[in-house]
Amino acid sequence: MSNDIKRVAIIGTGVIGASWAALFLARGLDVIATDIAPDAGPKLDAFIEAAWPALEELGLAPGASRSRLTFTANLDEAVTASDFVQENGPERLDFKKELYRHLDNILPPRTIIASSSSGLTMSEIQSACEHHPERCVIGHPFNPPHLMPLVEIVGGTRTSEDTIERVSAFYSSLGKRTVRLRKEVPGHVANRLQAALYREMVYLISEGVVSVADADTAVCWGPGLRWGGMGPSLLFHLGGGDGGIEHFFEQFTGPLNAWWHVLGSPELTPEIRETIVRGVHEQTKSRSVQELAAHRDEILLGLLSLRSKER
């Protein structure tokens, strides 16, 4: 079902859109990108050039080439010749509804329109489509998409099962790990899980229990290290020993319920924000955002190399 997608249009070439473009090129696809920002083309070229060595390390598909990228500021020119559209526009419902109304008017019925939106629902977005709302779907990646395997697939009330199957097959053919949401919820799944953890981190910092740096250390050198290989439920199955998850619940249902009752509900006040900002800058040790991103990507490549050995 993914073999009919050969040419992908990228709408919006910011951080997410540029990363998607790099991935699609590395998987041997033709990519035509569009953005109205005056310096978008050169910035996209620079991003892909910087990302390409990591993609080479992961392994390029036959025919993969940066030369298969085309950039145009003309939206209609970019999308009308494409088989698949990955939209990465601003997180504004009014903007997306108008964009999808236009795309729905000019694109062939079988062209999938996938949004990278991290918070808006497809039901709201596709409500502007008069002709083929069934081909509209959320395909939300985790940053940076050219390295992170996760894609959350969320249909709206008018998205067809055929679209879900086609987009799932397409992302899987790129090496993505997809999860399908059976219901629309704000923030989808991964960001909600991330937000739940960060809420408790903010609470513990605001209560003076732990510093910003130590809270980060507690996550990345504790449970976060294990989460790179298995999810919490499967890890708790191991935590139950020979008795597995059943024994784990016998032992820890009480403590878990007790901890849940005392989890915090902090507000990001200016004072707490300043505390976290100060703590983050103390951790960076004057390293630039680009240097930190390169360090993150180096770690991700190592983890992905280990995970690639799974069968």
Please report whether residue 2 resides in a domain.
Answer: no
So what's the pLDDT on residue 1?
A: 45
Q: Identify residue 151 by its one-letter amino acid code.
A: V
Sign of CA dihedral 120, 126, 127, 128: positive
Average pLDDT over residues 7-17: 97
160 and 297 share one domain: no
Q: Which of 153, 181, 209 is the last residue of a domain?
A: 181
280 and 152 share one domain: no
| Rounded Cα distance, 68 and 63, in Å | 9
Number of structural domains found in the chain: 2
Mean pLDDT across the chain: 95
Q: Model pTM? A: 0.92
Task: Please determine, for residue 2, whether its predicted confidence score (pLDDT) is greater than 70.
Answer: no
116 neighbors 125 (Cβ within 8 angstroms): no
So what's the pLDDT on residue 4?
A: 85
So what's the pLDDT on residue 311?
A: 57
Average pLDDT over residues 301-310: 86
Please report whether residue 91 resides in a domain.
Answer: yes
Task: Please determine, for residue 196, whether its predicted confidence score (pLDDT) is greater than 90.
Answer: yes
Band (pLDDT 50/70/90 cuts) for residue 95 is very high
| Rounded Cα distance, 69 and 62, in Å | 16
Q: What is the CATH number of the domain that holds 98?
A: 3.40.50.720
Please report whether residue 236 resides in a domain.
Answer: yes
How many other β-carbons are positioned within 10 Å of the β-carbon of residue 284? 11
Please report whether residue 254 resides in a domain.
Answer: yes
128 and 17 share one domain: yes
Please report whether residue 96 resides in a domain.
Answer: yes
So what's the pLDDT on residue 167?
A: 97
Q: What is the CATH number of the domain that holds 212?
A: 1.10.1040.10
So what's the pLDDT on residue 3?
A: 66
pLDDT, tens only, 215-252: 999 999 999 999 998 999 999 999 999 999 999 999 99
So what's the pLDDT on residue 166?
A: 96
Q: Identify residue 259 by its one-letter amino acid code.
A: W
So what's the pLDDT on residue 81?
A: 86
Please report whether residue 44 resides in a domain.
Answer: yes
161 and 201 share one domain: no
Q: Which of 155, 181, 207 is the last residue of a domain?
A: 181
pLDDT, tens only, 52-73: 999 999 999 999 999 999 999 9
234 and 285 share one domain: yes
Among candidate residues 168, 191, 177, 16, the one with its CA nearest the CA of residue 86: 16
155 and 13 share one domain: yes
Average pLDDT over residues 5-13: 97
172 and 31 share one domain: yes
| Rounded Cα distance, 296 and 114, in Å | 27
Q: Where are the alpha helices (DSSP H) in the chain?
A: 15-26, 40-58, 75-80, 93-106, 122-126, 161-173, 190-206, 212-220, 223-227, 232-239, 244-261, 270-284, 289-307
Task: Tell me the residue range of the domain where 122 lies.
Answer: 7-181
130 and 13 share one domain: yes
170 and 34 share one domain: yes
121 neighbors 156 (Cβ within 8 angstroms): yes
166 and 202 share one domain: no
Tokens of 204: 């513990």
So what's the pLDDT on residue 141?
A: 97
So what's the pLDDT on residue 26?
A: 98
Q: Which of 181, 208, 224 is the last residue of a domain?
A: 181
pLDDT, tens only, 270-294: 999 999 999 999 999 889 999 999 9
- Share above pLDDT 70 across residues of the chain, in percent, rounded to a whole number: 99
3-state secondary structure of 43: helix
154 and 223 share one domain: no
pLDDT, tens only, 124-183: 999 999 999 999 999 999 999 999 999 999 999 999 999 999 999 999 999 999 999 999
So what's the pLDDT on residue 238?
A: 95
103 and 25 share one domain: yes
22 neighbors 55 (Cβ within 8 angstroms): yes
| Rounded Cα distance, 83 and 153, in Å | 18
Please report whether residue 1 resides in a domain.
Answer: no
